[in-house]
Amino acid sequence: MIELPDGYRLSFDPGDVDAVAAHAFLTRSYWATGIKLETLARAIQHSLCCTVHSENGQIGMARVISDYATYAYLTDVYVLEAHQGQGLAKAMLAAIQAHQELQGVRMWMLFTRTAHSLYARFGWQPLAHPERAMLLDSREAQA
């Protein structure tokens, strides 16, 4: 079991995901600025979400998109600023990587601009062969 500081609860229950709370944070993040609530709600519906809650509601989330066998993409990892520095993001990452349905997934991917050291603690590494990776970003194609 993942240890959390007193007053916090971690959940994988889809019923515990507060899309409005996630949207309030993600619309001001560098990776999801301007995302529509309807788009995020649909993304959450089709993902495995790990959330952290305090007495005031959802204060963090991490979302995994996966086929549960060959590939998993980790995204939308956040903890509200007032709750950072307490190991909550670490607890979510540990819980996700230990999740029974994700055991044996062959390849994981994520994108980050600022949290390389956090993910490195959990075994994540830069792409060994970036020349093999390609990206289709429809946001850039529309610009």
Residue 4 maps to a domain: no
48: amino acid identity, one letter: L
| pTM score, whole prediction | 0.90
Residue 83 maps to a domain: yes
Question: How many domains does the chain divide into?
Answer: 1
Q: Are 11 and 51 in contact (CB under 8 A)?
A: yes
Enclosing domain of residue 92? 9-142
Residue 59 maps to a domain: yes
Residue 1 maps to a domain: no
- Cα dihedral across residues 28, 32, 36, 39: positive or negative: negative
Residue 109 maps to a domain: yes
Residue 3 maps to a domain: no
Tell me the three state secondary structure of residue 15: helix
Integer Cα distance of 100 and 46 in angstroms: 18
Q: Distance from CA of residue 47 to its chain's centroid? A: 10
Which pLDDT does position 111 carry in this prediction? 92
Q: Specify the CATH number for the domain of residue 121.
A: 3.40.630.30
Residue 133 maps to a domain: yes
Which pLDDT does position 67 carry in this prediction? 97
Q: Are 2 and 10 in contact (CB under 8 A)?
A: yes
Integer Cα distance of 20 and 118 in angstroms: 26
Which pLDDT does position 141 carry in this prediction? 59
Digitized pLDDT (tens) for each residue of the chain, 143 residues in all:
578 999 999 999 999 999 999 999 999 999 999 999 999 999 999 999 999 999 999 999 999 999 999 999 999 999 999 999 999 999 999 999 999 999 999 999 999 998 998 999 989 999 899 899 888 888 765 55
Which pLDDT does position 135 carry in this prediction? 85
Tokens read off for 37: 């609530």
Integer Cα distance of 127 and 129 in angstroms: 5
